[in-house]
Every structure is written in C-alpha cells, then in structure tokens.
Chains A and B, each alone.
Chain A
Amino acid sequence: MKKSIKVFGPGCPKCKTTYNNVLEAIKQTGVEAEVQKIEDIEEMMKYNVLATPVLMIDEVVKVKGRLADVNEIKQLLIH
C-alpha cells in the first residue's frame, strides 16, 4: 500500500534536509509513497506540531524536533 509521508517545518535547513532525506530514502528502498512538505503554520497547528522538523508516516509521528538521516528513515519505511 502506498505510504503517506508528511514533513512539517517552517522551511529551515533541518526541515529541508529531512525532506530531502525522505526522498532519498524512498529512492533507495523503492517504497511507494506520497510525500508532502508542510510549511503552513495553521496546518502544523492542526497536527499539534511543536518543535520541528516533524516526520509523519501514515498519520503517525515518527520523528519530532530533530533531523532524521536517510538510514533512519529507510528503517521507518520498511518496518
């Protein structure tokens, strides 16, 4: 089943890196996924996002307030 991935962040370097790492992890694992980068603060508030970046996979928060590297995201995608 196609995964839904959301990366929340106001556009800071860590948020951009997380988003790029997600794209790279998808490329390396071949997992089918739809990725959304969410920078809108009101959208973040709907999801109760506080410290950013936040990585959400299939509506579950997996990483918050820190950078996730490619290997970590790959593990999250395949498990």
Chain B
Amino acid sequence: MESGTSPVNEICPTATQSWVKKGALLVDVREKEEVEQLAYDVPNIVNIPLSEFETRYKELPIDKEIVTVCRAGSRSLRAAGFLVNNGYDPLKVVNMRHGIVRWVQKGFPTKGDTSTILDANTSTGCCNSSNKDESACC
C-alpha cells in the first residue's frame, strides 16, 4: 500500500484486484452518464456520483473494505478523504490511483465502450497535473 502525507491510502489497479477478490466494495464516484458509457466489471460495486456523495455516503457500510474509484483517481481521492473525515476507518478505505483509464490500459474487466479511454491515449483529464484544462473531473 502506498501512502504519503494524505489521510487516505492509495493503491494501484493491480492491488485493487486483490482487494476485490477479498470482497472489498468498489465505490465508483463518476457521474451516471460516464458509468453508462463504461463501467467497472467487478462483483461488488456501487455508483454514488460525487455530486450526490455528501447526501448518500451513509449508504456505504462502515465496517467493510472500500475502494473508491473514478476516471483518473482525483475525484475518488476526495471521496475517500470525505469518508475518512466522516468516521470511516482509514485502514479500510483506500483510493485507487489512475482510475478507469489505467484499469482499461491494464486490460482489467469492464462493461461498455472502452474506445473513449483508449482513443484518448494516456490523458487523465484534469486529474493529471500536466493537463488541467479538461473538465471531466468537475
């Protein structure tokens, strides 16, 4: 597990696979339209868009391992921080870095159209500090 000064631990997509196998719940915070286009294909997943997160986060079990995910890892990091700030165990809540962009590049299972990800090359939207002009995160 990787960690810095952030209150949230972060893991990569490969480590996320291990968490999923152990029964962790993936929490996808992308907006509904994004999920309809392309979704993570894992057994335990719930979609709570970031725009609804503040009112719906209590739907998430407090005693279960949770991996927050999004398109590129920035929105989900904020969501994970929000959970930790609101009493969720920082040892059980982690953020997946690089989001579905890296997930697709790694060939991990998805449902839907991956072309938007693959055609976009390695761009990670506004979550990439070198490319802050995209509005995907917001």
Contacts and interface: CB of A to CB of B under 8 A. Distances in A.
Interface of A: 9-15, 39, 41-42, 44-45, 48-53, 65
Size range of the chain B interface in the assembly: 20 to 34
B82 A48 contact: yes
A52 B137 contact: yes
A42 B81 CA distance: 9
B34 interface: no
A24 B43 CA distance: 49
A12 B82 contact: no
B105 interface: no
Contact of B138 (A39, A44, A52): A52
Contact of A10 (B51, B86, B126): B126
Contacts of A39: 132
A15 B138 contact: yes
Interface string B40-83: 00000000001101100000000000000000001001110110
Nearest to B134: A12
Nearest to A14: B138
A19 to B, nearest CB: 13
A45 B77 contact: yes
Given A10-B127, A50-B53, A45 B78 contact: yes
B98 to A, nearest CB: 14
B137 A10 contact: yes
B132 to A, nearest CB: 3
